[in-house]
Structure 1
Amino acid sequence: MSTTDLTPDGAITLADRLQLKPAGPGRWRSLHGDANQNGRSYGGQLLGQALRAALMEAPEGRPPTMMQFLFLQGAMPDQPIVFDVKRLQDGKRFTSLHVRGAQGERTVLDAQVSCALPLPGPAHAEVSLAPAGERPEALPTLDDVPPALRDQIALMGGYGRDCNAAIDFRMPDPLRQLDGATARPHFRYWMKVPQALPDNPHLHAAAFAYLSDWWLNYCILAPHLSRAGERGMYIASLNHALWLHAPPRSDRWLHVHAVCAHAAHGRGLAIAQYHDEDGRHIATATQDCLVTHTD
């Protein structure tokens, strides 16, 4: 069932979008689908639901530290996904789990998740690039971007027109960052879940996985916008990886700095660093994407 079938405006909470129902030993079934502009399931929901299914089978006291995820086929938002979870390793320090998601005979995703005991060791981190005193709640939203620029952005992979009620998304200086005449292959923004979430670390980790797919790969497209003319671009996530350096609090502001490390031959690689409002380095994500002209 798609989210638009559930309420008149589709605005159910993110906690609802990540709900799973037991379907047997090590098996979970999704309850809600979240459509993107291409009529397929939003990748962030697949990430969040897969991580939540894995954590349903993980031991207590071992927070998630990593997820490696393959988007195998486009998932249909009006059909449930069945997540099969298997433990690959249960050691003294680490637990590793495998998640496979299917719709009928179609395998749509494959993921591996690691959970680990917190251990003492060396500590250092990337510094947040958010300017001191920047207030994300005062920054523009996507609705504040001029319609003409949003229409131009929409040619580049369907960006620009898509707003998500489950994500509070803010952009510093959007005209400079979004306009291809001034944009660089990096993108800086803030985001969080609009509603307060229960104090459940596994839910916050799954919610963060949901958030992590939002506009992550725009840095691949940004510098090419002015040169695209009327040629459309198709972009699709091929794989996504998360490293959780600290337990995220997804209903509080997270600063994101995404950089395109390389783009060529129809593919692009985005790398993002996530910090909280106190400048604490929370996570790192990478996404490898198909990026090609539609004509």
Structure 2
Amino acid sequence: MSDDSTPAATPIADGDFDTDTQRALHDLVDLLRLEPLEHNLFRGQSRDNGGQAVFGGQVLGQALMAAGRTVDPAHQVHSLHGYFLRAGDKTQPIVYDVDRIRDGASFTTRRVVAIQHGQAIFHMSASFQKREDGPTHQDTMPAAPPPEGFEDDHLRDRRLIDRMPAWRQQYLRQAQPVHMRAVNPINAFAPQPLPAQALHWMRAAHPLPDDPLIHQALLAYASDWSLMSVAMRPHALSWQQGNVQGVSLDHAMWFHRDFRFDEWLLYQSDSPSLSGARGFCRGSLWRRDGTLVASVAQEGLIRIRRPKPAD
């Protein structure tokens, strides 16, 4: 069993950073590593991702890191299930309290509660498994043009910065640590009804340390980035219209096979249902060689703000 201290890992060099994105990735990895406070207690800071509250993917990734740091490295995460309970305060640290539910020969279970201002804002259960051999099968990766032929979503949005609200402009001026490239992007200011499905390529902007938990936590972080928006496509809705309120309610992931997050992954997503102001979305993540590495499911709150009646 490992202790609660952060284990040694190959760091991203602290020398001269050739781009702002390398510094941004360095900061994100540091953000995920957390500060050990006590036995089973960790503290994390927040990164501004342009929203009003803490980005859900950040809390998800940090909670996974907290759980993983209390588990024997021979056991790797194979599933997690989390619920977002309250909006997080970007200006304050988050404390992660890890409950060591079970340590077995094959499976290890952890429960994590994220706390701010004395209240739980998120809780997660995660299961870790020692590697085993056996029969294997998987679906077939969808056909998609290679990522080199697409522009980063962040750069595409930056060209429209003058049309964005002030809080969004501040975010767009920042370098981003993760490359996201939509295969089928929409016009966020004038969306048209489309099928509830999407394809994105994603990867870290620069090479990462050789620590599998870092790669898994970063994938959890990025998996929350575009998933909910797929439920809005059939209704010609987007975040930029200003009348859509959206927040993640829960998030589940299953890790199937090895991967590196500093290599391109194809994120295939769809939404089979939107009702009761809740959109249900699913995702599959593929290596470029066609290997299915992870699956995702999420339900998110999607509300249309109605104009207030005139007095």
Q: Shorter-chain-normalised TM-score: which range? A: 0.7 to 0.9
User: What displacement does 1:289 show?
Assistant: 0.5
Mapped partners of 2:222, 2:239: distance in 1: 28
In the other structure, the counterpart of 2:285 is 274
User: What displacement does 1:135 show?
Assistant: 2.2
Mapped partners of 1:263, 1:150: distance in 2: 32
In the other structure, the counterpart of 2:61 is 48
Question: Which ranges in structure 1 are unaligned for 5 or more consecutive residues?
Answer: 1-7
How many residues end up aligned between the 2 structures?
280
72-81 or 36-45, larger mean C-alpha shift: 36-45
In the other structure, the counterpart of 1:20 is 34
| Alignment counterpart, residue 80 of structure 2, candidates 62, 67, 71 | 67
Calculate percent identity across the aligned residue pairs: 27
Mapped partners of 2:121, 2:224: distance in 1: 17
Mapped partners of 1:227, 1:167: distance in 2: 21
Residue 139 (structure 2) pairs with residue 123 (structure 1): no
**Shift in CA distance, 231/55, structure 1 to aligned 2, threshold 3 Å:** closer
The two structures, once aligned, show a CA RMSD in angstroms of 2.9
Partners of 1:136 and 1:190 within 8 A in 2: yes
Residue 144 (structure 2) pairs with residue 105 (structure 1): no
User: What displacement does 1:38 show?
Assistant: 3.1
| Alignment counterpart, residue 243 of structure 1, candidates 254, 259, 264 | 254
| Alignment counterpart, residue 209 of structure 2, candidates 194, 198, 201 | 198
Partners of 1:177 and 1:183 within 8 A in 2: no
Pairing of 1:83-98 with structure 2 (within 5 A): 83-98=96-111
Does the residue aligned with 1:47 lie in a helix, a strand or coil? Answer: helix
Q: Deviations over 1:110-153 (max 9, x none)?
A: 0001000122222111211133xx3213312223369679969x
**Shift in CA distance, 172/92, structure 1 to aligned 2, threshold 3 Å:** same
Question: What letter matches 1:276 in structure 2?
Answer: R
Q: Deviations over 1:203-258 (max 9, x none)?
A: 11111111111101111011212699967111100000010001331111110110
Partners of 2:184 and 2:198 within 8 A in 1: no
Does the residue aligned with 1:33 lie in a helix, a strand or coil? Answer: coil
**Shift in CA distance, 217/149, structure 1 to aligned 2, threshold 3 Å:** farther
In the other structure, the counterpart of 2:52 is 39
**Shift in CA distance, 226/35, structure 1 to aligned 2, threshold 3 Å:** closer
Partners of 1:26 and 1:84 within 8 A in 2: yes
136-145 or 251-260, larger mean C-alpha shift: 136-145
TM-score normalised per structure 1: 0.86
Does the residue aligned with 1:211 lie in a helix, a strand or coil? Answer: helix
Question: What letter matches 2:198 in structure 1?
Answer: F
